[in-house]
Structure 1
């Protein structure tokens, strides 16, 4: 039997992270480490899914043409195409799978991250340093492109404009939330309007279909009492699991002192995260911080134990009716999965 490990406190972790370390994390989540066009299973009832695979093959053709001995290597040139592509569709149709498959096709230096991860990179390094770091990249994939923050959207549009001008190709998906009753199901017109300076550079692929998991956002995150949480944490530590346990308020206060780009290192090497005395949040800054934190926990596939208020209900009604509704709905879905042991692959 393994020796008991000490219980970790996330509030003791204040990691530093370099630009090189941040960009090293810009790869597809573990569940998409081997995603390919071949492993994507188009729904025959929705032809747009197979059409999207064919279009992405075409988009990737320029890289195949550049490989020695490739089909285009003898007096042929690759078919001209736009340097940007946008995957537009509802939750669960496989947009992230296809985005990751495209990333795997690309040679050389390439990055894959969520919109929030790229804006965090700019926030941590500064705009000029980020441009310098990413210049020369062959492909940038942006999952869940956010359209609800004008400032961040303008920042990303400017950044992508500079990079595309130097030859970088860009692929993006929308931030459509899980099963939000059709809300924002297709965001292509919004995307093109918000990045109007770059819209002529993007081809839009609309992907119809049903959520292949047939899941919904109904239900609640699992919560236990404090005594039950203590027993589970002790048992996990005695089994040799790397488990953390923090009071909800203390964790929220600590996250305010750590740049979101560093959250990935806050949760590094953990098997389970325990949170005590969760409650409803009324401060939007705290709520958005929690969203960013849960995104990193979800990507790392770390189960969560919690006492107090169910974590899926910590966003108050005003937040759920406001401009960041999509982010909170997505986080709610992830909190349910993290606390119920049903960690699904991303869209």
Structure 2
């Protein structure tokens, strides 16, 4: 199917100096951008260079994390992670005569210092795990080139782009590797990354990872840490698990996400907003199938808003997983999403929300809902 953008309003007229859309007055002459017309090429070196906290987390620090007073585990997480970061001062070592993990004394043998080489942040959706992980990256006393931050998907994409050995070589000189959204739903990828982490731990790289707990398991008292440690098997001794309780901060004390707007409202907003894209949702899903997920970040370069018409249920698992990656990239870049059609919490079927990839889908719903709330201003200004 050929890719197309949402049909422009019949009421759009062009003058010599501006475009006018009924009801909103003069607006920029240029038509909205389209994700469907973008086919970015991303060189491997860009994938490496971009392994830093996303723009949304540029300025976060432990001091800017606001623990829920009713959730002492959040305060404890800040304390433990602050100490972990401080202990990484000069921590990268595999040889004798180098400083140990927490900066005390010297290693007695050409081995990685004993004790946990990593931390695992385990909790529900929106409790601030990524904020804390990014804060750890910022707080670690090392040059940015010696620290890496990326999602599990971005890490697997890096291996695909560079090859396994080159990835090991590239990351082995780092002091810290932060992995957001460690996925346990794909056995092949989990084994791949587990093997990679084993090589990096042997090279003296400290690790930090996050993963979500399913809503249905929040009351079971076990969270995802047992699953995580079992999956990485031999690496389990290198991680200290930190449980973080709390409600989804993306929706804490905030009004409900707005209901979907009409096609006309979305199109008007797209024409009125500089740097906005406008696409028909089904055609966008088709286009995503032709762009590698490692390029979805580049796909959104320069966008100020994403406007989608005719949002419909996701037809299959492969399409759903691609949308999850796009939602992550849009959320990282704080790009509001204005949409007509189906509400975002109805994108995924009940079967999908009960299946093996349900963690990803719940995360996408949470993030798209937050971006939809951000986009409401586009039709209110």
| TM-score bucket of the superposed structures, by smaller chain | 0.7 to 0.9
Candidates 22, 30, 36, aligned match of 2:61: 36
* Distance change >3 Å, CA 248–CA 4, structure 1 → 2: same
1:83 match: 117
SS of 1:332's equivalent in the other structure is helix
Q: How far is 1:324 from its partner?
A: 0.9
Counterpart in the other structure of 1:335? 368
**Alignment partner for residue 357 of structure 2, among 294, 318, 324?**
324
Matched residue SS, 1:137: coil
CA change 1:65–1:321 in 2 (3 A) is: closer
Is 1:64 matched up with 2:101? no
Task: Give the match's secondary structure for 1:281.
Answer: coil
SS in structure 2 opposite 1:275? strand
User: 249-258 or 214-223, which moves further after superposition?
Assistant: 214-223
The number of aligned residues is 333
CA distance in 2, matches of 1:235, 1:86: 44
Deviation per residue, 1:201-235 (Å, 9 max, x gap): 11222233444566399966632222222222222
Q: After alignment, is 312-321 or 153-162 more displaced?
A: 312-321
Distance 1:285 1:103 in 2: 32
Would the alpha carbon gap of residues 305 and 211 (structure 1) be closer, same or farther in structure 2, given more than 3 Å must change?
A: closer
Distance apart, 1:266 and its partner CA: 0.5
Deviates most, 159-168 or 127-136: 127-136
* Residue aligning to 1:23: 48
Alignment partner of 1:102 out of 131, 136, 144: 136
Q: Distance in 2 between matches of 1:96 and 1:262?
A: 21
Given the two structures, how large is their TM-score scaled by the length of structure 1? 0.85
Could you tell me the TM-score, scaled by structure 2's length? 0.78
In terms of Rg, which structure is larger? 2
The alignment yields a C-alpha RMSD, in angstroms, of: 3.0
Structure 1 unmatched runs, 5+: none
Q: Report if the CA contact (8 A) 2:74-2:245 is conserved.
A: yes
Q: Which residue of 2 aligns with 1:277?
A: 310
Mind listing any 5+ residue stretches in structure 2 that lack a counterpart?
1-25, 93-99, 107-112, 377-381
Distance in 2 (alpha carbons) for counterparts of 1:14 and 1:314: 25
CA change 1:102–1:271 in 2 (3 A) is: same
Runs ≥4 residues deviating over 6 A: none
Are 2:257 and 2:370, in contact at CA under 8 Å, matched by a contact in 1? no
2:36 to 3, 7, 11: 11
- Cα deviation 1:101-158 (Å, max 9, x = unaligned): 1101220311111112212222333323322322211110011211122111111101
